Amino acid sequence: MSRWSWLGIALIAIGALAATPGLLLVGALLILSSIVRTLWSRYGLRGLTYERRLLRDRATLGEEVELLVSAWNDKLLPLAWLEADDLVSEGLLVRERPVTRSDRPGFAALRSTWTLAPFERVTTHLHVSADRRGVYRFGPVRLQVADLFGRDVAVRSDEISDTLIVRPRSVPVRLATPELAPLGERRARFGLHPDPSLFAGVRPFQPGDPRRAVHWRATARLGQPVSKRYEPATIRRTVIALDVQTNEEPYWMMIYDEDALESLVVATASLARFILDDGGSVGLAANAWSGTLARTAWVAPASGQGQLPAVLDALARLSVFASSPFEVLLRDLTARLEPGTSVIVVSGHDPRPVLGLELRLVSSGFPVTHIALGARRTEWAEAARRAGVTARMASLDRGWRDSTTLELAG
pLDDT tens-digit readout, 284-329: 999 999 988 899 999 999 988 899 999 999 999 999 999 999 999 9
Give residue-wise pLDDT tens across range 23-70: 555 555 555 555 556 666 777 788 999 999 999 999 999 999 999 999
Task: Check residue 196 and give its pLDDT.
Answer: 61
Q: Whole-number mean pLDDT of the chain?
A: 85
Termini Cα distance of the chain? 84
The pTM score is: 0.79
Task: Check residue 187 and give its pLDDT.
Answer: 44
Give residue-wise pLDDT tens across range 179-198: 666 654 444 444 445 556 55
Provide, rounded to the nearest whole percent, the portion of the chain with pLDDT above 70.
82
CA-to-CA distance for 128 and 89, rounded, in angstroms?
12
Q: Which residue has the higher pLDDT, 278 or 178?
A: 278
pLDDT tops 90 at residue 119: yes
- Highest-confidence range of 5-19, 248-262, 307-321, by mean pLDDT? 307-321
Task: Check residue 58 and give its pLDDT.
Answer: 96
Those residues with Cβ within 8 angstroms of residue 73's Cβ, 6 or more apart along the chain or in another chain: 47, 48, 79, 82, 116, 117, 118, 119, 120, 121
- The one-character DSSP state at 98 is P
- The one-character DSSP state at 180 is G
Ramachandran class of 201: left when φ > 0, alpha when ψ lies in -120 to 50, beta otherwise: left
Give residue-wise pLDDT tens across range 323-341: 999 999 999 998 999 888 9
Confidence band for 132, pLDDT divided at 50, 70 and 90: very high
CA-to-CA distance for 204 and 219, rounded, in angstroms?
9
Query: What burial class does residue 125 get, using C-beta atoms within 10 Å of its C-beta: 0-12 exposed, 13-18 middle, 19+ buried?
Result: exposed
Instruction: Name 45's bridge partners.
Output: none
Task: Check residue 291 and give its pLDDT.
Answer: 87
Average pLDDT over residues 246-257: 86
Decide if 30 contacts 149 (C-beta within 8 A). Answer: no
CA-to-CA distance for 401 and 266, rounded, in angstroms?
9
Report the alpha-carbon angle 391-396-401, nearest 5.
Answer: 140
Query: What burial class does residue 214 get, using C-beta atoms within 10 Å of its C-beta: 0-12 exposed, 13-18 middle, 19+ buried?
Result: middle
Provide, rounded to the nearest whole percent, the portion of the chain with pLDDT above 90.
58
Those residues with Cβ within 8 angstroms of residue 247's Cβ, 6 or more apart along the chain or in another chain: 255, 256, 257, 349
- 82-86, 153-157, 176-180: which range is least confident on average? 176-180
Task: Check residue 186 and give its pLDDT.
Answer: 43
Confidence band for 200, pLDDT divided at 50, 70 and 90: low
CA-to-CA distance for 120 and 334, rounded, in angstroms?
62
Task: Check residue 123 and give its pLDDT.
Answer: 95
